[in-house]
Amino acid sequence: MSSVPGVEKRPSVYDQYVTTLEPRYREKARLELHEDDNTRGPALAQMREFIAKHPQIIRCRTDSVFLLRFLRSQKFNVLAAQRMLEKWLEAGHLGYEFFVEIDPYRLEPLIDRNIVVPLGADNQGRLVLVTRLGRFDSKTTSPEEQTRLISLSLETYLDTEIYQVTGLVIIFDFQDATMAHFGIWTIPKLKVIINALNDILAFRIKEIHSVQLPKFATMIADFCIAGLSEKLQRRIKFHKTIDDLKNEIDESVLPTIYGGKRSLEDANEEFRKRAFQERNRLLKQAEMYIDLSIPSPNGKNSSRGVLQREISEESVVGSFRHLNVD
């Protein structure tokens, strides 16, 4: 098992990057992300200097593969990558119960239900993830727990370089979803997820597929889509039936329950094993910390106030709790 990266913001020695990418993906990174041997070193150095000098950042990973998440997602725009890292740390501090508290042992009962399953790489090398929202128990599973499971499934693979370069395909399957599944989500909590997709998820989201969305949920879907960036909005596709989805997803990675060739149970077991292999890293990563009581170097805390309000606000007014749930 590989060593667990530390979270010291000024380590005595930084790791030396050694690529794990095949030549075709190194070329893809060069053409699409402006990454090569000339840009990578200086960009990593700037990210590390940013962390070392940032007064609010107390503990943070500085290893290459972690920092490349942000650089690659922002196509090696260093300033944009630094802003994303800052927002990512803020979200982890203010939304700990959503994004950080993702110990596989605590989430094992949910993992066992094949609800959120990374399916592996498609024929373009992209990670395909299916989320079967109707499989959550709406009476016992909170939005925070649902988000933690999704966060675990993503974080387990975010250090995988190929996926940093090729990106992510998400399938949201709403089969068997009832009003109760949507009614537990307040508008503030939905905004937390929307902002995460827009601002802090260091995966390059290539496609989002929505399957069998109930008619009663269209208002909620419209609200969520309106909050996404235009780029993400253009990458959303709605499918009324499973047959429609089959035409869009590589059949080698599509689960057999959707007419593909991939065993959902086998894929979930691989996810389980991988998540537990990564557990020590996840627990160490949870120790990263940004102290928001210290004045921001920019004179303001860009996303903090908004996120803090969205997480803490629990007013029924303006939420979806008025729905008549099943």
| Model pLDDT, residue 300 | 53
Tokens coding 228: 């996404």
| Model pLDDT, residue 194 | 85
Q: Rounded to an integer, what distance in angstroms lies between the CA atom of residue 82 and that of residue 74?
A: 10
Reading the chain (326 residues) residue by residue, the pLDDT tens digits are 458 999 999 999 999 999 999 999 999 999 999 999 999 999 999 999 999 999 999 999 999 999 999 999 999 999 999 999 999 999 888 777 787 789 999 999 999 999 999 999 999 999 999 999 999 998 999 989 999 999 999 999 999 999 999 999 999 999 999 999 988 888 888 888 888 887 778 889 999 999 999 998 988 889 899 998 899 899 999 998 888 899 899 999 999 999 999 999 999 999 999 999 999 999 999 999 999 999 988 765 444 444 444 434 443 333 444 444 33
* CB-based contacts of 235, cutoff 8 Å, min separation 6: 205, 206, 207, 208
Q: Rounded to an integer, what distance in angstroms lies between the CA atom of residue 58 and that of residue 290?
A: 6
Tokens coding 289: 């910390």
Give the single-character DSSP code of 133.
G
| Model pLDDT, residue 91 | 86
**Fold observed for domain 102-279:** Phosphatidylinositol Transfer Protein Sec14p (3.40.525)
Long-range contacts at 310-315 (CB < 8 A, ≥ 24 apart): 310/188, 310/189, 310/191, 310/192, 310/195, 311/94, 311/95, 311/98, 311/188, 311/189, 311/192, 312/188, 313/186, 313/188, 314/186, 314/188, 315/186
Domain residues of the chain, as ranges? 102-279
301 phi, psi to nearest 5 deg: -110, 90
